[in-house]
């Protein structure tokens, strides 16, 4: 997972950010316990995730469609040296109006011409990525694991046809969260899918089995029953990236303000871009890609049948 977008999007309270999502139960036949203890397998996979997150040289352009109860948004993203450049291209699966498209173009031009704002954007992305990485690093110690079968990878999940090991996890009672970022892990249970061949996490799927309070309940809490799912897949250039994130969380902030986050996001169309890519050039790539998509959509529309004069 790249540092700038690993389990990125999300924004739950004090560290939930992108690892809260709708849990899906998968049927799996129980297979003989592999030789490696499950905790060691998790620790090895997490080490690979951390190494991948720290490698910021490989960059991609990709598309993301996010569905919430209020509708959907589809965006194009490109990773750059400075920050992620993003452009909204559809709302509720309908192309933007000329006015909306101009607004997107103007915003990107404003960011490009304001180095201070761009630095702030980069700093926010870095902070979110660091919080998420702290939670990933905590996985080996925060939970106890046991083997629970296996299944084959498929499109959008691991590598197609490669066996994924399923591990059930429950909280480790001796684990003491070092900060509020990791505190949410104490109330989770669920399962992981690990590609042993690549040594990568293919899915994290969990449920909050109890309420989780932050700041002695004064800052807020997350309700029991919240679900999450984040999964990764191998892409064409041999790297791995996030393919889906789902989230269903409720709670309260500062005792009175309700918190509700329900979303499903799918990432697709990953394409490699230059490793050394300035933000301004990334914006130009987005514009070019959007123009191509607009032309293709226009060409795909059926032409109106001309009426024959009577």
Give the 3-state DSSP-derived string for 148-211, with helices as H, strands as E and coil as C.
EEEEECECCEECCCCEEEEEEEEECCCCCCCCHHHHHHHHEEEEEEEECCCCEEEEEEEEECCC
Which residues constitute the domain of residue 48?
13-300
Selection from 213, 205, 141 nearest residue 183 by Cα: 213
Q: How confident is the model at residue 214 (pLDDT cuts 50, 70, 90)?
A: low
Identify the residue with better confidence: 260 or 141: 141
Mean pLDDT of 245-253: 89
Q: Is residue 242 in some structural domain?
A: yes
Q: Is residue 127 in some structural domain?
A: yes
DSSP-based three-state secondary structure for 217: coil
Residue 11 has pLDDT above 50, yes or no: no
Question: What is the model's pLDDT at position 24?
Answer: 30
Q: Is residue 3 in some structural domain?
A: no
Percent of the chain with pLDDT over 70: 83
Q: Is residue 118 in some structural domain?
A: yes
Q: Is residue 307 in some structural domain?
A: no
Mean pLDDT of 141-157: 96
* Helices 115-142 and 98-112, packing angle to 10 deg: 90
Q: Is residue 19 in some structural domain?
A: yes
Q: Is residue 7 in some structural domain?
A: no
Question: From the CA atom positions of the chain, what is the Rg in Å?
Answer: 21
Mean pLDDT of 111-139: 93
Residue 307 has pLDDT above 90, yes or no: no
Mean pLDDT of 97-120: 95
Residue 181 has pLDDT above 90, yes or no: no
Mean pLDDT of 290-295: 84
Domain tally, the chain: 1
Q: Is residue 65 in some structural domain?
A: yes
């Amino acid at each position: 997972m790249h540092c700038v977008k690993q389990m990125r999007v999300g924004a739950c309270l004090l560290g939930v950010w992108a690892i809260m999502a709708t849990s899906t139960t998968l049927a799996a036949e129980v297979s003989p316990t592999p030789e490696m203890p499950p905790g060691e397998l998790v620790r090895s996979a997490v080490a690979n995730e951390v190494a991948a997150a720290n490698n910021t040289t490989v960059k991609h352009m990709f598309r993301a469609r996010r569905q919430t109860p209020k509708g959907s948004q589809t965006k194009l993203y490109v990773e750059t040296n400075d920050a992620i450049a993003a452009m909204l291209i559809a709302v509720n699966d309908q192309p933007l109006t000329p006015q909306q498209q101009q607004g997107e173009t103007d915003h990107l031009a404003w960011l490009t011409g304001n180095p201070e704002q761009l630095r702030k954007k980069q700093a926010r992305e870095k902070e979110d990525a660091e919080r998420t990485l702290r939670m990933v690093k905590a996985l080996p110690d925060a939970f106890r694991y046991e083997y629970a079968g296996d299944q084959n990878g498929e499109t959008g999940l691991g590598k197609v046809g490669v066996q994924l090991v399923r591990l059930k996890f429950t909280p480790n009672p001796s684990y003491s969260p070092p900060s509020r970022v990791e505190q949410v892990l104490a109330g989770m249970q669920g399962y992981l899918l690990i590609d042993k061949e690549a040594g990568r996490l293919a899915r994290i799927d969990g449920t909050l089995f109890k309420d989780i309070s932050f700041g002695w309940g004064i800052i807020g809490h997350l309700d029991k029953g919240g679900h999450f799912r984040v999964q990764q897949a191998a892409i064409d250039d041999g790297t791995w990236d996030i393919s889906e994130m789902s989230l269903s969380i409720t709670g309260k902030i500062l005792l009175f303000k309700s918190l509700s986050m329900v979303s499903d996001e799918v990432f697709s169309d990953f394409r490699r871009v230059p490793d050394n890519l300035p933000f301004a050039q990334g914006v130009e790539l987005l514009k070019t890609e959007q123009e191509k998509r607009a032309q293709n959509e226009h060409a795909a529309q059926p032409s109106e049948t001309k009426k024959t004069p009577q």
